[in-house]
Amino acid sequence: MKKIVLASRNRKKARELQEILNGLPYEIVTLEAFPDCPEVIEDGETFEANSAKKAAEVSAFTGLWAVADDSGIAVDALGGEPGVYSARYGDKETDEERNEHLLENLQGVPDDERTGRFVCCASLYGEGKLLYQVTETVEGRILHAERGEGGFGYDPLFLPDGFEVTTAEMTPEQKHQISHRGKALRKVKEFLESLEPHE
């Protein structure tokens, strides 16, 4: 069975990717199987550039097809920030510190202006080329305080449109159904399923 490697060292993200891609006729492995794989420098100005770069470099190192995603949150009242810098927003080290930093920057912004979206670009790279790329979003708004213990990143602050619970209060299955990453990875999965089976 052909192997596909997930180009992420974030264990929570890798687990989400595995859950969403579950059921494919491929063996899905993580970067834990390749401890010597160098860290990819995410210096692109778009989610698409970073996603493609991660997939390309991990594919080149491992010799396998690689799936990478680059994702983040874009807040309208902050001109789209933190965007591609979501994972290192304000040079903070932890999710909690980044969430706190976001809330500080949104102080005084009323509910109806706290709109934003999660963005995910997923890329599949193999055979020396970009095989497939897709970008998906989920709209919502940023709360004034964290709610929920699930998920990671900005999930405790994000209330998706049409829901009364944050993405951190959802079960993994509920979150995958509506999330930016869930929508993008399902399209990657559909693309892989459309290919001829690989031994």
pLDDT per position as a tens digit, 5-23 = 999 988 888 888 888 888 8
Percent of the chain with pLDDT over 70: 98
pLDDT per position as a tens digit, 87-138 = 999 999 999 999 999 999 999 999 999 999 999 999 999 999 999 999 999 9
Whether 184 shows a pLDDT value over 80: the answer reads: yes
Looking at residues 31-43, what average pLDDT do you find?
94
Cβ partners under 8 Å of residue 102, min gap 6:
73, 75, 82, 89, 142, 154, 157
CA distance 120 to 113: 22
pLDDT at 151: 87
pLDDT at 1: 76
Q: Which amino acid, one-letter code, is at 65? A: W
pLDDT at 56: 98
* Confidence (pTM): 0.92
> Among this protein's residues, is 70 annotated catalytic?
yes
Among the listed residues 43, 70, 111, 161, the single catalytic one is 70
Count of C-beta atoms within a 10 Å radius of residue 52: 20
pLDDT at 187: 97
CATH of domain 3-194: 3.90.950.10
Percent of the chain with pLDDT over 90: 86
Whether 198 shows a pLDDT value over 60: the answer reads: no
pLDDT at 13: 84
pLDDT at 11: 86
pLDDT at 199: 45
Q: What is the mean pLDDT of the chain?
A: 94
pLDDT at 197: 61
Looking at residues 169-181, what average pLDDT do you find?
94
CA distances from 101 to 45, 73, 128, 145 (A): 21, 13, 39, 12
